[in-house]
Every structure is written in structure tokens, then in C-alpha cells.
Structure 1
């Protein structure tokens, strides 16, 4: 389950219910059509499309404006997370997910993530640490959303990979992202693969080993007991 917002998103070939996630077995992970960067639904005429988050959907919005429309020309970027536990670095693929990378670069420049804690850890069936919500409620994000990019098979969610959470509905990617600290091969291919952790997986492992304070989704899904705070987030194009 990768959940964001009260209309919770459930993956790992699961069926979701508004207000919670309920697991239903599936014979195989969902496989979405691979979308090349050149025909991404996030783009139109060489520009990124930022859509306003609908009002009344229960989201906790932090409005910092919208990024520039132009698709970035760089092929790679590095997102650095200075945390209370040490440094984590993520190599982002700006060629495969240019609008997602542009969004994270913009939000980092606005200090959108600074001082926020990773709000969700899952430790059974799905193994992710989820961050990027200034409200800390799983419902937070910017006042805009955008379509998913670079979808393919679930083989992309291997240990160390980073992807963007969304709600049940396509086209609702925002600021929340999840780090796979173990292979999550049953995870349905619905989430933009943003990049790969190149430094600091030991920190993620430490948080995962600390376990969770159980939340509304069960005993293995909740706030990490080992608190990890994104003190400063920066993005640099390589």
C-alpha cells in the first residue's frame, strides 16, 4: 500500500477504499504501458502541465505557486536530503521523468520540504519509507498536481529506488515520495520512478529497523518510531 490523501492509494495489487486501505489478493501485479519522456501525459508541446488540486477533496495544501512550464533540458539531477540522522542522496532521472524532477527542484528551492518529518513506514508486505508531506498527515502536498511519467513494470521498485506517491486517481502526483528499502516487486506500476538512493541507505535501514507506531492501516503501517526529519532539501542538475 502506498497511500496519499484520504482517498487512500493502495498498491501491491490491492483494492483501496476511501478512508483506508484494504488488501485483496491479485494473481499478478498491474502493468501499465511504458511512457517515454517524449510522450509523457505530464507534458504538452514541450511544456509541463501543472493542474490545481481540486478543493474539497480532504487534501492539506501548501500553496507555493507552480514551477515553470518549460521541460528541463538536463538529463540527470541529484536531490540531497540533509536529515537529523545524516545525509541521503538520490540520483534522479530527469530524462525519464522531467516534469517530476522539475517539480521537486522547484519545491526544494521554495524550502517546501525543509523541517518536515517522514510520516509513514510500512514493515510487512510492503517495505517503504514515505516522506514529503509538510502537514505530516499523509494528505499534504502543493496546490498543484501532475500526471505520472515513466511507468512500466513493477520491476522498477527495487531496494533503493524512489518513486512518487499519488491518490487512487491517475494524474495526482505531488510532493510525497517513497523510498523502497527492500524489493517491492508486487507493487503495481502506477507510480513515477524518480530515481535511486546513492548515499544514505544505511540511514533508511536504521529507520526501518526501528519499527512503526501503528496507525489506522494496521500494526505494520504508521509513523516511524525512529524520527527522521528533512532539515534541508536541495536539487542540483548534473
Structure 2
């Protein structure tokens, strides 16, 4: 499935649809975050995120895991911790030279390095221990960074959290993703 995304993304790049790196605007119930997506460093991951965004998959989902001083995670659960169906997993692109620094966005995954689907996290501090080190320590794929709205990330990171069933670090009050819009960064 990720080959399909890579092909589509390659066509977008060659057609000039994305002259450089696209931007994503995440509208949340606590404010707006604008990201620059590193299409040149993580083409499969960016194509995956763009596809989910353009399909309006993220609309109405929540930030379901928030740990201040670590990260905020969203992109997989509806309010009430109901998990949304995803597309097939993508290849881990953590070995791309990018680091999990404060304000970067990376793909969440299970213990299988190639299991990322829709969930992402924004690093609330430098988390270099999440970087690619070797095939035995595959890391988490950074694919962009916050270029505006880090105050919103900080606001989300400060919310009270609780436990909901098997899930810990869930915001006590819902932090909703209203929409994620992809904007072409090229100038006309």
C-alpha cells in the first residue's frame, strides 16, 4: 500500500504540485498548529499523512495521549477512545537524518518498526532517544516540524490527564482535532 502512496507523491513532486515542502495546518479545540512537512526526507511518511489529511480522516479525532515534557499524540481515536479503522502500515523512514527534537512531528507505531498507520506525535521536548540508531533500534520517523503554534502544543501538553479503560495519559477534557489541511508551500 505504501508503494501506492510513494507513487502518488512522486507524481505530485514531478508535476510541481509541491514545489518544496508542503505545510499542514492542524486546527484543534485548543488552537492551531502549522507544520512544515519534510517531503524530501520522508516521502512515504509525508505522502501517507497527506493522504489521511486529504481524506478528512483526522477530522473529529482527538489527542488521546498527552505527556507533558515528552509528547502529544493523536490521529487514531475518536472521543470516548473509539479507535478508527486505518489504511495499511507504511515503511519506517526514521533513518532519514532527522531527530526527534522539540516541535518535530513523528509517526507513532507499535514494536514493529514498519507498523505506523495514521497516528502521529509532536515532541514536547528533545527526545533524541527516539531517533534511529541501528536496525536493532529503528527509531520513530520524524517527517516535519512545527513552524507556528508551538504555544498550542504547550497548551495541549498542560491538560489534565486520566486513565480511560486500558489507556493512560488521556486528556480529562477532550482535545479535538477539528481538521488537518494540507497547503502547498510553493509561491505563485
Distance in structure 2 (CA, Å) of the matches to 1:177 and 1:186: 17
Correspondence 1:79-118 to 2 at 5 A: 79-118=24-63
Distance in structure 2 (CA, Å) of the matches to 1:143 and 1:105: 13
Match of 2:90 among 146, 165, 169: 146
User: Does the residue aligned with 1:142 lie in a helix, a strand or coil?
Assistant: coil
1:208 matches 2:146? no
Please name the residue that 1:225 is paired with. 172
What is the aligned-residue RMSD (CA, Å)? 2.6
Distance in structure 2 (CA, Å) of the matches to 1:211 and 1:183: 22
Distance in structure 1 (CA, Å) of the matches to 2:83 and 2:141: 18
Distance in structure 2 (CA, Å) of the matches to 1:148 and 1:159: 20
Contact 2:42 2:96 in 1 (8 A): no
Distance in structure 1 (CA, Å) of the matches to 2:126 and 2:164: 23
Please name the residue that 1:69 is paired with. 7
Structure 1 pair 115–233 and aligned structure 2 pair: CA distance change class (3 A): same
Contact 1:207 1:227 in 2 (8 A): no
Please name the residue that 2:64 is paired with. 119
Query: TM-score if structure 2 supplies the norm length?
Result: 0.78
Which segments of 5 or more consecutive residues in structure 1 lack a partner in the other structure?
A: 1-41, 43-47, 51-66
Distance in structure 1 (CA, Å) of the matches to 2:42 and 2:85: 19
Q: CA deviation at 1:224?
A: 1.8
Bigger relative contact order, structure 1 or 2 (CA pairs below 8 A, ≥6 apart) = 2
Query: TM-score if structure 1 supplies the norm length?
Result: 0.63
Distance in structure 2 (CA, Å) of the matches to 1:185 and 1:80: 25
Contact 1:163 1:179 in 2 (8 A): yes
Match of 1:186 among 123, 126, 129: 129
